[in-house]
Chain A
Amino acid sequence: MERYISLAHGDGGELSHRLIRDVFIEAFGDTDTALFDAALLKVTGDNIAITTDSFVVKPIFFPGGSIGKLAVAGTVNDLAVSGARPVYLTCGFVIEEGFSISELKKIVRDMANEAQKTGIKIVAGDTKVVERGSADGVYINTTGIGFYEENAGCSLDFEEGDAIILSGTIGDHGIAVLAARGELGISVPINSDCASLNRMIGEILNQTKGVRIMRDPTRGGLATTLVEIAEDFHLTMKIIEANLPIKEEIHGVCDLLGFDPLYLANEGKVIIIVENHEKEKVIDILRGFPEGKDAVVIGSIIGQQKGQLLLETPLGSKRLLTRLSGTMFPRIC
């Protein structure tokens, strides 16, 4: 097989055929869904969740993950936090001419592994090749389809006193990717938290009642995601700075370079807002999974009018948190 992607790999001819056979089918397997131009799927439930996401992370391989793992986990998590069970996935590749086929194979293998772990089936795909310089290596789009049951997911029935739970440390992905780009001028022993959370979230929904909403704090970080919830549902939420789980290494890098961990991206964390008396149970379930071992209550809903997020500092003073406003980070997902 050729070592690099050429424009001919995207022209629909023999090379395209070989690329699909030797790279994609090799990793994803051949199924009868590939017999037609569209995957024909049997749908058992009435309720379908669908989400799509594009991945342009640079570098494409980083400590703790790759663009391939991220492209599956990111979409799986979007389905999971919406209360759906991930079932089918499609993927579209835009590849730059000259891209190494062995790297492409590694990426595709990461996707296959992550899909297998989560139980999602990759049922359709597409590949396009663009001229050298028209893209940066490889971009991947994935669309996920999930099933959900009525009344089994997030109730959105928020009440004052509801607990805000975070499944683990913040900022790991953002810093791991920045460090992997080699631009920080320091080496940081941090892995991205990139992980699929569907099994852990499935357990929460199976075993507890009173989950109001779940979100994964990806781009924009914890603060931006919480501000969005506060504004969308007119809630006043308070989080306690001293309770926020942040690794010492992340603290160190942030202090040095002026980043705020509240706004750094995460790719394997979930925020769960839950009825107050269910919080211990949720924490116990989360801590039973490796991805949730550092789960902790970080705050609560304190009012239902204003649509704002407050942070209580260790000194007891409060300050308003807003969305990330225009800080420039390199591509992180």
Chain B
Amino acid sequence: MLEILKQSTNPEICKPLVEAVIDKAKEFHRKFGRKPAFMEVCGSHTMALARTGVKQCLIDDVKLISGPGCPVCVTDQKSIDAMIALAEGDNRIICTFGDMMRVPGSVKTLLDSKIAGKDIRVLYAPIEAVSIAEKNPDKEVVFLGIGFETTIPILTLMVSEAEKRGIHNFSIWMTTKLVEPALRYLLKEGEVKLDGFLLPGHVSIVLGENSYNYLVEEYNTSGVITGFETAELLTGIYKLIDLSLECQISIENNYPSVVSKTGNQVIQKWLKKYLTECDEAWRGIGVIPNSGLDLKPEYDLYNAKKRFTVHVGEPKKTKCRCGEVIRGLISPNECSLFGKACHPMNPIGPCMVSAEGSCAAYYQYMRESY
């Protein structure tokens, strides 16, 4: 496996691939009079494209647009404010992924609350939250459940573990998101003109190749399921240009080593057992019906939204354009705050904080100051 990964980053393989993609893109340009435009749906793709230099190498020939695939970034401001307000309560331990700590709320961040003495813990292994609850029976332990289909199974695992151990002081604040409703929204609105999607590798492990058939059948749009190493990214983009050139519409699996036709059935059963679809509010978009998953009523014991009441006002308005960045309407440097008022040490919006955020990727890897 390590050998395969090494090959995927080997310059002797990857450099000719860059040339092949550029040749293909030029062919597209000759045929259609413009650059091919694709959206990478996944935040990890956004980061990987910038970190490996693929995006920089293709910048003149292929338009790569970041999509709504960073879970922290797509969480709407009111939700963020609610989670920060939740942490203000007494006798609570809030557990979270590290990304959330510095996301700006309307008033403060979780990090501010931690510095002020609130018990807020960053976990690398989320399941640890259940053990923390076990060790602190007199405290309420709440995990901030943010994420797409890749993260959601872990949340159900936590509930199962808490059930098994008979722990009743553990709950999850669910604000999960699903990929399909977001893609349908983008395609329906038609604000961004796309020649196809670079589809998320990890989400596809759960969902399977067939889950994207609606793109072809209902929206006449192609997608290529793609991994995260340099060679995988490049071949994914190559296949997308090739499909567009041939005027073919289909879903291709460029990550067959881990993505099957029907996905991970065991995980899908788990999701069905514990969760039910719910409406979710997306940053810059608003509420999309059935675009998230919440715990079923029989698991209310583990549902923090049922256990705690949190009051938050209307979010503070800023000039942050994260909403447009998420929808692919502007690139980060088109926001007047980018790199000036808003930078990683002073993020105004979540896209500048999250490890998968477009603005953070652009700031870290794409600034042209050399």
**Chain A residues near B (Cβ < 8 Å):** 178, 183-186, 236, 242, 248, 252, 257-258, 306, 308, 310, 313-320, 322, 325-328
Contacts and interface: CB of A to CB of B under 8 A. Distances in A.
B52 A184 contact: no
Give the interface size bracket for B toward A.
35 or more
B366 A185 contact: no
Given A326-B344, A328-B101, A315 B125 contact: no
Given A183-B124, A325-B344, A315 B370 contact: no
B342 to A, nearest CB: 12
Interface of B: 2, 9-11, 14-15, 18, 50-54, 56-57, 98, 101-102, 111, 122-125, 127-128, 230, 343-345, 355, 364-367, 369-370
A319 B52 CA distance: 10
B355 A258 contact: yes
Given A319-B56, A325-B344, A314 B230 contact: yes
27 contacts: A178-B124, A183-B124, A183-B125, A185-B124, A185-B125, A185-B127, A186-B125, A236-B370, A252-B2, A258-B355, A313-B53, A313-B56, A314-B52, A315-B11, A315-B14, A315-B52, A316-B15, A317-B56, A318-B370, A319-B50, A319-B365, A320-B369, A320-B370, A322-B364, A325-B345, A326-B344, A328-B111
A59 B80 CA distance: 32
Given A314-B53, A315-B11, A318-B370, 13 more contacts: A183-B125, A252-B2, A258-B355, A308-B369, A313-B53, A314-B10, A314-B11, A314-B14, A315-B52, A319-B365, A322-B364, A326-B344, A326-B345
A315 B21 CA distance: 13
Interface residues of A, dominant DSSP: loop
B2 A315 contact: no
Contact of B367 (A306, A313, A320): A320
Contacts of B125: 183-186
Contacts of B53: 313-319
Contacts of A322: 364
Contacts, number: 76
A183 B101 contact: no
Contacts of A185: 124-125, 127-128
Nearest to B47: A258
A316 B17 CA distance: 13
Contact of B102 (A186, A306, A308, A326): A326
Contacts of A325: 343-345
A175 B189 CA distance: 45
Contacts of B50: 319
Contacts of A178: 124
- Most chain B CB inside 10 Å of its own CB: which residue of A236, A257, A320: A320
B128 A315 contact: no
Contacts of B344: 325-326
Given A320-B370, A322-B364, A326-B344, A315 B54 contact: yes
A151 B122 CA distance: 48
A318 B365 CA distance: 9
Given A183-B124, A185-B127, A315 B57 contact: yes
